[in-house]
Structure 1
Amino acid sequence: MKKIILVDGSSVIFRAYYALPKFTTSNGIPTSAVYGFLRMLLRILKDEKPEYIAVAFDKKAPTFRHIEYKEYKSQRPKMPDELSVQFDIVKEILDAIGIRYYELEGFEADDIIATFVEKLKKFELEILILSSDFDLAQLIQKNVKLLITRKGVTKIEVYDEERFVKEFGFEPTHLVDYKALLGDVSDNIEGVKGIGEKTASKLISEFKNVEDILKNEEVALKFRLKDEEEKILKNKSLCMLVKDVPVKFEIDDLKVPDFKTENTHKALKKYEFNSISKEFGFKEGDLVNDSLFGNANKEELKSTNLKIEDRGDSAEKAVLYVSSNEKRLENVILVYNESIYEFDFENKLFLDHRHLPILKDVLLNANLEKYTNNLKMLYKVADYIGVPLNNVLLDSSLALYLIDPDGEDFSIKNFKRYLNAEIEIANLHDELNFLKNYGHHILEYLKKEGLEFVFRNIELPLAKVLYNMEKLGIAIDVEYFERLNDEIDARIQELEQKIYKLAGISFNILSSKQLSSVLYEVLGIEFPKGYSGGTGSSILTEISNSHPIIPLIIEYRHLVKLKNTYIEPIPHLVSKETGRLHTIYHQIGTSTGRLRSTNPNLQNLPVKDEWGNKIQRGFIAQGENNVLVSADYSQIELRILAHLSKDKNLIESFLNKEDIHKRTAMEIFNLKESEVTKEKRNLAKAINFGIIYGISPYGLSKQIGISKDEAKEYIERYFNRYPMVREYIEKEIVLAKEKGETRTIFGRRRFIHGLDDKNGVIRESAKRIAINSPIQGSAADIIKLAMVEIENKIKDIRILLQIHDELVFEIKRDALIEKLPLIKNTMENICKLSVPLEVDISYGRNLGEART
C-alpha cells in the first residue's frame, strides 16, 4: 500500500524552536527551528519512504474556535519574532523543494489535515500524520497512524488503533469526548472539576460519548455533570476537528518531488544548511565544516554566541558534548581547533561521515585533553566508531554530582555559583564555551574541595567499567521466566480466592481504600495503635496475627510486585540482537555514592525468599563452559563502622573472625555462645545494622516487634559494649553541624541540612543521614575501587552486575581455580582498614546457584 505523510507544520516548527539551541546564519538570521523542521522531514521521508506528502500550517488570523470561545488559547504568549520569521523561511524552502503546503484563514492546521484524511478515503493509502499535537489522535483509524514527536525533534512515537486503545481504554474517535470532560490546558479549555484522567477514561470507555453520559441520571448526578452540560458540549465542539475545510488538491500534486534541483540547492545554501545540502547529494568545495551551527569558523562563531576563546596558559583542548537518553546515544557536538562539528548518532542517516576522521583523531589522541558532560556515553561513541578513548580529564556531570550529590540538575550552567564565574550561560552555545574555558577551574575546584581522589580514582575510571557492563549484559532464560510467570499467576489467583473466602466478599485487594474497608469494617479488625485504618506494609505486619487473612494479603502484594517488577517484564527487556538483558547503571542520582540501575532495577533484586531465589535462577551463564560467580563483601558496613569508630571491642571481634551478630547477642542479652538462638542472633543483627542507620528506640521497636522501652534498653546495652561507637556517632553529628557536611573515608561528601531544625522529625532524619552517609558512602567507594582494579588488572573475566556490596562475573569454568583467588584478593585488599575486608565467593550455572 502506498503512503502519504501529512505534516502538521506549525506544531513541528514550534517543537523544533523550543527543543534546539538558538543559532543563526552568519548574517544573523535565526534558523534553528527551520533546521529542526527539515531534519524531521528528512528523517520521516527516509524512514517511511512515502509516495506522497503535504504540509499544513496555521494561519495568523483567528479561527472559528476563537470566535466561538474567546478564551481559546488565550493563555499562550505571543510568538517570538525570531520564530515568526522562520515560518516564512520554511515555506520558502518547501517551495524550492516542491513540497505543497496548505493554510486557510479561519481554520487550524489540524482541520486541514482532518479534511485531507477524509478526502483521501477514496484512495488506497496508508496515512501517516506527523505532529507534536496529540489532538490529531482522534483521526487514528485502520489505515491512519499518528507519528507524535515527544523528545525534542528526535524521538517519534507511533500510535495506531491498538496502542491508543491500550493506553486510553477507548477508541480514538472518542478522544474529543474524553477532552470534553478533562479539558485541555494547552488550548485553555477548562475541564469538569473533580474529573481526572482515570475517571474520564473509565466514563468514555463505558459510555463512548458525553451525550450518553449526560443522559445517564445516576452518573450525571454522581459526578455533578448536569450543571456542566453546556461547558461539556462546548468543549467537545472546540476539540472536534473540521473535516470539510474548503481546501482543494489533486493527489498527483502531492507526489514526493525530486529534491535534487538547483532551487533546492540555492535555498539550502542561502540559509547555510550545509550538512542537509550534502545529504541531498549536493557537492560544493566551499561548503565546509557543516554542523548544527552552520559554518563554524572562528569569525562566524561570534554571530552564534559561541566564542572560542584561547587561553595562553594551557594546551589545546577538545569539548565533547553528548546528548543521550539512557541506552540511546543521540548526538555528539565536538568543539575543537576553533571549530564545531555535530554527529547525529541516533539517526545514522544524518551522521556526518566526512568529519568522522576528526572525531576519531580527537578520541584517540592521548596528548589532547578532553572535557565532556557524559563520559560513560562517550565510551559508547568511541566503541561505535572503533577507536579507544584517551585522556578525558573532566566529566562535568560527575564533577557537579561530587560537589553536591543531592542536587537535581547537573548541567554545566550550575557550575557558575561554585566558580563565581561572571559569564552568561543562556543556551547550549554558552555551556560549550564555559566548559572549554573553565574546565580547568572545575578540576581545581574539585582539588580545593578535597574531592580529587574520588573524582580521578573512582568515578572517572568507573565510567568505562559501567559502559562495558551495560554493553555485555547478562544472559536470561526467557522460557524459564515465562513458565515462572504462569506459576506465580496461579499462586496469585489461589491467594485471591482464599482472601475473598475469608473476607466473604470480592474486592480489589490492591486498593488501599477497599482493603481498609474490608479489614476494619467488614472483618472488624482493630486499628493498630497510633493508626486509623491504614494498610501500609508496616501496619499489616504489625497486625499480622489479628486475622488469618492478613498474611495472605501480605504474600499477595509481595507476589504481585515481583511479577510486575521482574517476572513479567524481564523477558521483554532482553535485547533481540544479543539475547541478553542490559540494565543501565547510573553513577549520578544517589546521595551516598551508591550506584543505581534501571530497566530493570537490579539493585533491588529479591534474595531472601523462595520466589526471590526462583527469579535469580532465570539469570544464567551463557554457554555450557561458563559459570556465574558471586563475590560479596561480608558485613562491609559494620567493618567500616569499626574502622571509623576505632572501637576496640568491635575491632577485636572482627580480628578474631567472630560471628559479629552472635557476639552482639551474647553481650546484649547476657548469654553464653551456646545459648544464642537464631531468634536472638537476628535481633542482634537488626540492632547492629540499625545503629549504622541511626535507628531510634521507636524505630527498633517497630522493626523487631518489641516495646519502645525494651528497644531503648537494647540500644543502651549495645553502646555499653561498644562505647567508641556511641562517641563516634556523637562526634559525627557535631562535625556535621559545624561543617554542614559529612565525608567518606576517601573524601566523598554529602551536605547535611536540618540538624538545627525546629521540627523534630526533620532534625532526627538529618541525624540519621549524618550517621549513615560516611558508612554507606565508604562502602560504595570501596566496591567501585574494586571494580576499577578488577577491570584493569584481571584478564578474561567479565563483570556483569553490581548489586550493592556484590559483584557478579561470568567466567569460564576451567579458569575458576586461577580467577577466584584473584577476585577475592583484589576485593579484600583494595584498601587497608583497621579490620580486614572479607569477601564471600561462590559460583553456579545461574545466579540462584551462585548465591547459595
Structure 2
Amino acid sequence: MNKQAYKLMHEGTLAFADMESNGIRVDTAYCKKQMKDIDKKIQHLENKLDKTRELKKWHKVYGHEFNLDSNDQLKDILFMHLGIEPPQRTKKGNPSVDAASLHLIDSEITKPLIQWRQLKKMNNTYLKNIIGQSVNGRLHPFFNLNKVVTYRSSSDSPNFQNMPIRDPYMGKIIRQAFIPSDGGWIGGLDYAGIELSIAGCNSRDPVLIDNFTTIHKTMAAMLYDLELDQVTKDVRYCGKNNFVFPELYGSWYKPCAFTLLASIKEMKLKRVDGVGIRKHLKQQGLGDTEDFIQHVKEVEEWFWNTYHVHKKWQKKWLADYAKKGYIEMLTGFQCGGQLSTNKLLNYANQGPAFHCLLWSIVRMNKWLKKYKMKSMVIGQIHDDMVMDINGKEKDDVLHKAKEIMCEEIKKDWKWIITPLEIEAEFSEVNWFEKKEIKI
C-alpha cells in the first residue's frame, strides 16, 4: 500500500478504538423476554414438524429421530426417499438445501423448517450474544481492519455487521434491542450507491455514471417486468443484490434468475399496489421457471450492451492482473496472489467504497472529540456509519456529516468523479424504527 493508504489504516484503527469504547446501548431485559417467547415458538414448530409426512417417512425408514439441523438428513429425505427434484445445486453439483432452495421446494416440511432454523438463529446467534457480551447495558463489539484481504472491515464479539435487516421478522426483533442514549437518536448515515459510484470512477463509463442512482430500480423493473412506479423498496433490493452486483462481479443470468425467484417467496415480494410478484409474473407469461430464466438472459444481454464501456474496463482490469499478479485500488491498496475473476472485480469496487466510509469516520470522530460533543460514532456496517446522536446536537452533527462525507472527501481524493450522496435514518426509540431524515 502507498503512504496515503497506510495513514488511512493507522487513523482508522484509532477511530475504531474510540468507536469500540463508546459501545452501543442495548435493552437486555427486552432480549431475555424475546428469547423466552421464541423458545415457545420453536417448541410449537418442532411438534408441527414431527407430524409431517416427511418426518413420518424418516421414522419409518430409519427408526430414529430426525436432526432438524442436518442438511444431509434433509437431502436424504427430500431427494432420495420422496423423489423431489432439487431446484438448485451447489458448485460441486450436489443438491442445495439452503434457504433460497428450500423456498422453491413445495413440501410440507420446508416452510416450518425454514421458520424453525430462523428462530434458532435468532436466539443462538443474536439475542444470546447480545445478552452475554453486553456490559452495564452497552455492547462493545470489535471492529477490525486487519482481517479482510480487500482492506475492508470486519466485526466480532458479536458481529455487529451481521445484525439482520432484510428479513422483516428477524430485523424487527433483533434491531429493537439497540436503543439510543437518554435524550438521543440512534441510526446511521449511509453512502447511497457508493459501490456503483466507485465502479463509475474505475471505468469512467458515462452511462453508468449518469445512471448509478437509478440503475437498481430500473433493473428490478425489467427483471420482474414491472412499471417503474410499481417497484417497492424490497423489489429494488432484489434487483440490486440478486442481479446488478452479481453481474458486475462475474456472475451470469442463470444463478441470478434462481435467486430472483427464491426472493419472491422468501421476502414476500409485492408490487406497490399490493399484488404479489409471483402472481404478476404469471400474468406476464413468466410464471414458468424456464421462461423466467430466458427472460433474465435477455435482460442480461441488454445490461451489458448498455454498460459496454464498463465491460471493456473489466477485461483490461483482469488482463492487467494476469500480467502483474496484483491489483491496485483507487485508494492505493494492493491485493495480490491467486484471485478469481469474481474477487478481482469485487475488490476493485468494494474496497474503495469502504475506504470512503473509513475516511469519513476518521474525520467525523476527530470533529466530535475536538468540540467535546456528546454524540458518538458507535459502529459501522461497510457503507453505513452508525451513530448515537445527542438530541440537542442533532442538526449540527448531521450537517457536518454531510459536509465530510460528500464534499471534504472529494477535495482529498481527486479520483472521485461521481456525485456522492448520503441517506440519514434515525430514531428516538430503537434502531429498527429509524426513519429517513432530510439533511
Please, what TM-score do these two structures have when normalized by structure 2?
0.80
Partners in 2 of 1:453 and 1:495 — Cα distance? Answer: 54
Counterpart in the other structure of 2:148: 590
Contact 1:451–1:747, Cα closer than 8 Å, also in 2: yes
Partners in 2 of 1:459 and 1:727 — Cα distance? Answer: 32
- Residue 739 of structure 1: how far off its partner (Å): 1.6
1:773 aligns with 2:347: yes
- Residue 710 of structure 1: how far off its partner (Å): 4.1
Indicate how the Cα distance of structure 1 residues 679 and 837 shifts in structure 2: closer, same or farther if over 3 A, else same: closer
Structure 1: which amino acid aligns with 2:405? M
Structure 1: which amino acid aligns with 2:154? R
Counterpart in the other structure of 1:419: none
Q: How do residues 61-76 of structure 1 correspond to structure 2 at under 5 angstroms? A: none
Counterpart in the other structure of 2:192: 634
Contact 1:736–1:752, Cα closer than 8 Å, also in 2: no
The correspondence for 1:713, drawn from 276, 298, 323, is 298
Counterpart in the other structure of 2:20: 470
Counterpart in the other structure of 1:496: 46
The correspondence for 2:171, drawn from 612, 627, 636, is 612
Indicate how the Cα distance of structure 1 residues 674 and 535 shifts in structure 2: closer, same or farther if over 3 A, else same: closer
Indicate how the Cα distance of structure 1 residues 653 and 526 shifts in structure 2: closer, same or farther if over 3 A, else same: closer
Q: Which runs of 5+ in 2 are unaligned?
A: 57-64, 262-288, 411-415
Contact 2:88–2:96, Cα closer than 8 Å, also in 1: no
Structure 1: which amino acid aligns with 2:245? F
- Residue 669 of structure 1: how far off its partner (Å): 8.2
TM-align CA RMSD: 2.6
Partners in 2 of 1:630 and 1:678 — Cα distance? Answer: 18
Structure 2: which amino acid aligns with 1:747? G
Post-superposition Cα deviations, 1:627-647, rounded to whole Å, max 9, x if no partner, equal 213111112111111222212
Indicate how the Cα distance of structure 1 residues 723 and 667 shifts in structure 2: closer, same or farther if over 3 A, else same: farther
Indicate how the Cα distance of structure 1 residues 600 and 684 shifts in structure 2: closer, same or farther if over 3 A, else same: closer
Structure with more helix by fraction: 2
Contact 1:668–1:717, Cα closer than 8 Å, also in 2: no
Indicate how the Cα distance of structure 1 residues 721 and 475 shifts in structure 2: closer, same or farther if over 3 A, else same: same
Indicate how the Cα distance of structure 1 residues 521 and 622 shifts in structure 2: closer, same or farther if over 3 A, else same: same
Structure 1: which amino acid aligns with 2:173? K
Contact 2:88–2:95, Cα closer than 8 Å, also in 1: no
Counterpart in the other structure of 1:840: 423
- Residue 683 of structure 1: how far off its partner (Å): 5.5
Contact 1:465–1:791, Cα closer than 8 Å, also in 2: yes
Contact 1:667–1:718, Cα closer than 8 Å, also in 2: no
- Residue 675 of structure 1: how far off its partner (Å): 6.8
- Residue 776 of structure 1: how far off its partner (Å): 0.3
1:452 aligns with 2:3: yes
Post-superposition Cα deviations, 1:147-197, rounded to whole Å, max 9, x if no partner, equal xxxxxxxxxxxxxxxxxxxxxxxxxxxxxxxxxxxxxxxxxxxxxxxxxxx
- Residue 568 of structure 1: how far off its partner (Å): 1.6
Counterpart in the other structure of 1:539: 101
The correspondence for 1:807, drawn from 385, 388, 391, is 385
1:702 aligns with 2:236: no
Contact 1:801–1:808, Cα closer than 8 Å, also in 2: yes
Indicate how the Cα distance of structure 1 residues 573 and 748 shifts in structure 2: closer, same or farther if over 3 A, else same: same
1:644 aligns with 2:227: no
Indicate how the Cα distance of structure 1 residues 511 and 675 shifts in structure 2: closer, same or farther if over 3 A, else same: closer
Contact 2:19–2:379, Cα closer than 8 Å, also in 1: yes
Post-superposition Cα deviations, 1:44-71, rounded to whole Å, max 9, x if no partner, equal xxxxxxxxxxxxxxxxxxxxxxxxxxxx
1:687 aligns with 2:238: no
Partners in 2 of 1:689 and 1:550 — Cα distance? Answer: 29
Q: How do residues 262-341 of structure 1 correspond to structure 2 at under 5 angstroms? A: none
Q: How do residues 211-222 of structure 1 correspond to structure 2 at under 5 angstroms? A: none
Structure 2: which amino acid aligns with 1:611? M
Counterpart in the other structure of 2:323: 738
Contact 2:187–2:386, Cα closer than 8 Å, also in 1: yes
Indicate how the Cα distance of structure 1 residues 671 and 607 shifts in structure 2: closer, same or farther if over 3 A, else same: closer
Tell me the SS of whatever aligns to 2:409. coil
The correspondence for 1:552, drawn from 108, 112, 116, is 112
Indicate how the Cα distance of structure 1 residues 673 and 629 shifts in structure 2: closer, same or farther if over 3 A, else same: closer
Indicate how the Cα distance of structure 1 residues 479 and 791 shifts in structure 2: closer, same or farther if over 3 A, else same: same
Tell me the SS of whatever aligns to 2:49. helix
The correspondence for 1:484, drawn from 18, 24, 34, is 34
Partners in 2 of 1:841 and 1:557 — Cα distance? Answer: 33
Q: How do residues 144-159 of structure 1 correspond to structure 2 at under 5 angstroms? A: none
Contact 1:627–1:843, Cα closer than 8 Å, also in 2: yes
Tell me the SS of whatever aligns to 2:51. helix
Partners in 1 of 2:72 and 2:224 — Cα distance? Answer: 42
Partners in 1 of 2:337 and 2:254 — Cα distance? Answer: 23
Contact 1:512–1:535, Cα closer than 8 Å, also in 2: yes
Partners in 2 of 1:581 and 1:798 — Cα distance? Answer: 14
Q: Which runs of 5+ in 1 are unaligned?
A: 1-449, 755-765
1:659 aligns with 2:214: yes
Counterpart in the other structure of 2:413: none
Partners in 2 of 1:826 and 1:469 — Cα distance? Answer: 18
Contact 1:583–1:602, Cα closer than 8 Å, also in 2: yes
Contact 2:357–2:383, Cα closer than 8 Å, also in 1: yes
Post-superposition Cα deviations, 1:33-54, rounded to whole Å, max 9, x if no partner, equal xxxxxxxxxxxxxxxxxxxxxx
Structure 2: which amino acid aligns with 1:573? Q
Partners in 2 of 1:487 and 1:622 — Cα distance? Answer: 26
Partners in 2 of 1:621 and 1:680 — Cα distance? Answer: 30
Indicate how the Cα distance of structure 1 residues 780 and 830 shifts in structure 2: closer, same or farther if over 3 A, else same: farther
Contact 1:752–1:769, Cα closer than 8 Å, also in 2: no
Partners in 2 of 1:517 and 1:671 — Cα distance? Answer: 39
Contact 1:630–1:851, Cα closer than 8 Å, also in 2: no
Partners in 1 of 2:230 and 2:179 — Cα distance? Answer: 41
Structure 1: which amino acid aligns with 2:109? I
Partners in 1 of 2:6 and 2:312 — Cα distance? Answer: 30
Please, what TM-score do these two structures have when normalized by structure 1?
0.42
Partners in 2 of 1:540 and 1:476 — Cα distance? Answer: 34
- Residue 537 of structure 1: how far off its partner (Å): 3.5
Indicate how the Cα distance of structure 1 residues 461 and 675 shifts in structure 2: closer, same or farther if over 3 A, else same: closer
- Residue 519 of structure 1: how far off its partner (Å): 2.5
Structure 2: which amino acid aligns with 1:661? H
Contact 1:800–1:809, Cα closer than 8 Å, also in 2: yes
Partners in 2 of 1:475 and 1:668 — Cα distance? Answer: 41
Contact 2:208–2:307, Cα closer than 8 Å, also in 1: yes
Contact 1:638–1:692, Cα closer than 8 Å, also in 2: no
Q: Which has the higher contact order (CA 8 A, sep 6+)?
A: 2
Contact 1:631–1:840, Cα closer than 8 Å, also in 2: yes
Contact 1:785–1:830, Cα closer than 8 Å, also in 2: no
Indicate how the Cα distance of structure 1 residues 668 and 732 shifts in structure 2: closer, same or farther if over 3 A, else same: farther
Post-superposition Cα deviations, 1:598-644, rounded to whole Å, max 9, x if no partner, equal 11011111111222222111011122x12213111112111111222
Indicate how the Cα distance of structure 1 residues 632 and 677 shifts in structure 2: closer, same or farther if over 3 A, else same: closer
The correspondence for 1:831, drawn from 399, 402, 409, is 409
Structure 2: which amino acid aligns with 1:738? K
- Residue 579 of structure 1: how far off its partner (Å): 3.0
Indicate how the Cα distance of structure 1 residues 533 and 741 shifts in structure 2: closer, same or farther if over 3 A, else same: closer
Indicate how the Cα distance of structure 1 residues 720 and 473 shifts in structure 2: closer, same or farther if over 3 A, else same: same
Contact 2:16–2:143, Cα closer than 8 Å, also in 1: yes
Q: How do residues 158-557 of structure 1 correspond to structure 2 at under 5 angstroms? A: 451-456=2-7, 458-502=8-52, 503-505=54-56, 507-521=66-80, 523-528=82-87, 534-541=96-103, 543-544=104-105, 546-557=106-117
- Residue 713 of structure 1: how far off its partner (Å): 2.8
Contact 2:55–2:66, Cα closer than 8 Å, also in 1: no
